[in-house]
Amino acid sequence: MTKQIWLNLPVKDVAKAKDFFWKIGFSFNEQHDTPNSTCMVVGESHFVVMLFEESLFTGFSQNKLTDTQSSSEVLISIDAESVAEVDELAKKVEEAGGTVFSPPTESQGWMYGFGFADLDGHRWNVLFMDFTKLS
């Protein structure tokens, strides 16, 4: 069976995308950097998100790109350790040039989170889940 899974995303400008994600707190495995791609590492399990220049991505996928301004290909969800971390990340996203499309708010009485679009319009969801409040 599979040993690892990673996500591949098309970006218009690899350097700008890397700078954006760096500013909001993500890290990179620079051993896998090329002029047309970069390897972003997410979370404790080191989930890999590869950011590929659009032309390279379409070569792999053999399909046209989704227009992220009018539709979503995926909603990428990541967890946060606290309400404060959610609020801090929302601020960093705006400062780095991203778009908060759903401001930080409580949901269903046990979750707190926000949604943002990165520089290429990919949608992300950040959630703090307080399981002690789940009934």
Task: Based on the fold, state whether residues 15 and 58 are members of the same structural domain.
Answer: yes
Q: What is the tens place of the pLDDT at every residue in 54-108?
A: 999 999 999 999 999 999 989 999 999 999 999 999 999 999 999 999 999 999 9
Distance of CA 31 to the CA centre of its chain: 20
Task: Based on the fold, state whether residues 84 and 57 are members of the same structural domain.
Answer: no
pLDDT for the residue numbered 67: 94
pLDDT for the residue numbered 3: 77
Task: Based on the fold, state whether residues 45 and 79 are members of the same structural domain.
Answer: no
Task: Based on the fold, state whether residues 79 and 127 are members of the same structural domain.
Answer: yes
pLDDT for the residue numbered 24: 97
pLDDT for the residue numbered 53: 97
Among 66, 100, 121, give the residue marking a domain's end: 66
Q: What residue type is 48 in one-letter code?
A: V
Task: Based on the fold, state whether residues 1 and 19 are members of the same structural domain.
Answer: yes
Q: Which residue's structure tokens are 């969800």?
A: 77
The answer to whether residue 135 scores a pLDDT higher than 90 is: no
pLDDT for the residue numbered 134: 82
Among 50, 66, 82, give the residue marking a domain's end: 66
Mean pLDDT of 33-61: 94
Among 66, 85, 101, give the residue marking a domain's end: 66
Q: What is the tens place of the pLDDT at every residue in 11-35?
A: 999 999 999 999 999 999 999 999 9
pLDDT for the residue numbered 64: 92
Q: First vs last Cα of the chain: how many Å apart?
A: 35
Give the C-alpha separation, 9 to 122, whole Å.
8
Task: Based on the fold, state whether residues 120 and 83 are members of the same structural domain.
Answer: yes
Q: Quote the number of domains for the chain.
A: 2
Give backbone dihedrals phi and psi of 86, rounded to 5 degrees, phi first.
Answer: -60, -50
Task: Based on the fold, state whether residues 59 and 88 are members of the same structural domain.
Answer: no
Task: Based on the fold, state whether residues 2 and 60 are members of the same structural domain.
Answer: yes
Task: Based on the fold, state whether residues 80 and 96 are members of the same structural domain.
Answer: yes
Q: Residue 86: give the domain boundaries.
A: 74-135
Side-chain half-sphere exposure of 99, counting CA atoms within 13 A: 9
Task: Based on the fold, state whether residues 12 and 54 are members of the same structural domain.
Answer: yes
- CATH of residue 36's domain is 3.10.180.10
Task: Based on the fold, state whether residues 91 and 124 are members of the same structural domain.
Answer: yes
